[in-house]
Amino acid sequence: MRQSMLASACLSIALSLTCAAQSGAPAAGAQRFTPIPGYDASAMDTSADPCVDFYQYACGNFAKLHPIPADLPEFDQFANLFEFNTAALHGLVEKAAAAHAAPGTNEQKIGDYYSSCMDTDAIDKRGIAPLQPDLALIAALQSKHDLPALVAHLNRESVEVFLDYSSQQDFKDASREIASIDQSGLGLPEKDYYLRTDAKSEELRKQYVAHLANVLKLLGDAPDAATAEAQKIMDLETALAKASQGVVERRDPEKIYHMMTLTSFAATVPILDAAKYVQLMGSPSITDLNVVAPDFFPALNKAIEDTDLDTIRAYLRVHLADSFSMRLPRAFDEEHFDFYGRKLTGTPEQEARWKRCVQATDSGLGEALGQLYVEKYFTPDMKAATLREVHDIEAAMGKDIDEIDWMSPETKVKAKEKLQAVADKIGYPDKWRDYSKLEIRPDDALGNSMRARAFQVDYQLNKIGKPVNRQEWDMTPPTVNAYYDPSMNDINFPAGILLPAFYDKDATDATNFGHIGAVVGHELTHGFDDQGAKFDAKGNLHDWWTPEDEKKFEQRTGCIADEYSQFTAVDDLKVNGKLTLGENTADNGGMRLAWIALMSRLAEGKPQATTAEQKSEASITPEQQFFLGFAQNWCSNERPEFLRMIAQTDPHSPDRLRVRGVVVNMPEFAHAFGCKAGQPMAPVKSCRVW
Ligand SMILES: [Zn+2]
């Protein structure tokens, strides 16, 4: 639901603008993708000098071996596992669909959710009829005073218009769940897309306006009227964009935390009638809430006042239809992809319907489907191996804190307190979510989607005023990703990422520490990155640093921000060092921790190479295996349009720069590959936080 609130810091952009991406293991029909081993000699370009360009050395052949499939914006390890596991989930949903299980069971819901999504003949035949009740509500809007009810109705279906109301852990009292209200309502990825003046941005805006007009035409508007309405919608969204918070600002918890009484918030946006809106959202009654972006709401009020009702109705219609485009006749689905896929990310073809319906089932019924997934694909030994590595990395952090020379003993005590309080969550939740109140029908693709979204909204809102559930997960089990949540102070590794190449039981310890060890270290370091370090052991936003230590810490993170700002993301576009600071700090710290843990493991004695993979790895040293494993986490092949979007919106640096940024800061790398001081991968000046 959230656009980009600092709820949690995750490992990778993977394939969507949020953090999610699914994964699994082999299944019928998965021929296009096979697991990439932890040690992938075929991806390497051994003609390259590792001291000049380590990414080229480790991943130089990857793009040739893995051309980007026509239906993807990029291809990397995450995408490979995502595709591979989407096929695994496909097997599970097909089986559920064929079972015709008893109504009300999870199996029936999974099967019907998937098969109704797949039934494009039925969807085409019904046309926009399933949207008609909502369209009628919008058409009936005759006064702006009636907006609160209409906006609440659409927001309950997760149609992102004007604002976003949900729940969150209180930043300053992590034991409680509070209401929060946030900016929303932009069709482009974030505010600067409306404001940049370069040629590419201007062009994209033209394409967006054309897209809005096309959707209105599909809804039955005359071409001339649609074009005029689209421009006015763009004006409205531009006004909202100007008052919206930007991606860098939204990383700072202090800037997205403003507790207000409902009454005083309501006064900032009278046109919304906040008390009525909150009630119509189905929220428990509240007296106060976090106003995430306080400057946005007076501007929202003014924008609505300044906009005529016809434009407001057109704005609501277009976002309603776009939001459900996949459950509408083909032309809507194609129009949506044409802009959001083809234009925005440069992807030529849309993904096959079955893949998208599998992903939709994961999104709608994630813990029901996830339960089937872990039963079949996640074994206790995978959990045990991960847990052992997590404990090793946590021990490494303890050692690192002891040994760093810039932090005072006083702050070190607090840092270790926080470290000891980190909760480790591996694979899947101990208690599964209950879907009994969610109704899924065999022949109602759009209704199923609406009900699943409302179910999710209710789930979030029902938390308000209740104790925090620390067992809860923000990602579904098959997700190829991981995250740290500062309010929970926990690290989370879904089952979906605990597979090759990230964890490969046939590879050496050194390779696995470079792969999954670096991932574990990355998440743990998020608790101590430029923003995570503002939260204490209990998950409260509370400064536990001495002023001198804080200053030294900021100098060190500043070094990382400046360093990455020099890197070119794509064409003329540099990495945004401030936007990516948390992730870059986590990448650097994570590798440091994985290195310390590996050194301890190697000190226990080198195990005999038993698998064919381990025997082939023996041609290089364990230290080299470690850096190679890490670099090969990030072997990738991206479309330039996609890279541009990532560089402008995503807190992660582009994959290949995640390799460079880390190795240049580790003298251990230069030592492992015999690089001379001053070579590109062994600069004289480097940065280190953890
Ligand atoms: Zn991260």
Which of 107, 112, 523, 641 is the catalytic position? 523
Catalytic annotation present for 523: yes
pLDDT, mean over the chain: 95
User: For 354-374, how does the pLDDT look when each residue is reduced to its tens digit (9 = 90+)?
Assistant: 999 999 999 999 999 999 999
User: For 56-110, how does the pLDDT look when each residue is reduced to its tens digit (9 = 90+)?
Assistant: 999 999 999 999 999 999 999 999 999 989 999 999 999 999 999 999 999 999 9
Distance 198 CA to ligand 1 centre (A): 30
Which of 587, 617, 623, 638 is the catalytic position? 587
Distance 587 CA to ligand 1 centre (A): 7
pLDDT on residue 337: 98
CA pair distance 103, 107, nearest whole angstrom: 9
User: For 149-205, how does the pLDDT look when each residue is reduced to its tens digit (9 = 90+)?
Assistant: 999 999 999 999 999 999 999 999 999 999 999 999 999 999 999 999 999 999 999
Stretch 601-605: mean pLDDT, rounded?
Answer: 92
**Is pLDDT at 21 greater than 80 in this prediction?**
no
Which residues are near ligand 1, the ion (C-beta closer than 5 Å)?
9, 11, 583, 586
Distance 483 CA to ligand 1 centre (A): 6
Q: How confident is the model at residue 28 (pLDDT cuts 50, 70, 90)?
A: very low
**Is pLDDT at 659 greater than 60 in this prediction?**
yes
Query: Which amino acid, one-letter code, is at 462?
Result: N
Distance 659 CA to ligand 1 centre (A): 14
pLDDT on residue 12: 75
Distance 541 CA to ligand 1 centre (A): 19
Stretch 622-641: mean pLDDT, rounded?
Answer: 97
pLDDT on residue 608: 87
**523, 492 in Cβ contact below 8 A?**
yes
**430, 497 in Cβ contact below 8 A?**
no
Catalytic annotation present for 587: yes
Sign of CA dihedral 155, 158, 164, 169: positive
pLDDT on residue 11: 82
CA pair distance 682, 343, nearest whole angstrom: 39
Q: Tell me the two tokens of residue 70.
A: 């026509």
Indicate the burial class of 594 (C-beta count within 10 angstroms; 0-12, 13-18, 19 or more): buried
**189, 205 in Cβ contact below 8 A?**
no
Distance 5 CA to ligand 1 centre (A): 14
Stretch 30-43: mean pLDDT, rounded?
Answer: 81
CA pair distance 435, 106, nearest whole angstrom: 7
**Is pLDDT at 642 greater than 60 in this prediction?**
yes
Distance 596 CA to ligand 1 centre (A): 20
- Longest Cα–Cα distance of the chain, Å, equals 77
Residues in the chain: 690
User: For 471-526, how does the pLDDT look when each residue is reduced to its tens digit (9 = 90+)?
Assistant: 999 999 999 999 999 999 999 999 999 999 999 999 999 999 999 999 999 999 99
* pTM for the structure as a whole: 0.94
Distance 602 CA to ligand 1 centre (A): 27
Q: Tell me the two tokens of residue 360.
A: 């939709």
Stretch 598-624: mean pLDDT, rounded?
Answer: 92
User: For 522-567, how does the pLDDT look when each residue is reduced to its tens digit (9 = 90+)?
Assistant: 999 999 999 999 999 999 999 999 999 999 999 999 999 999 999 9
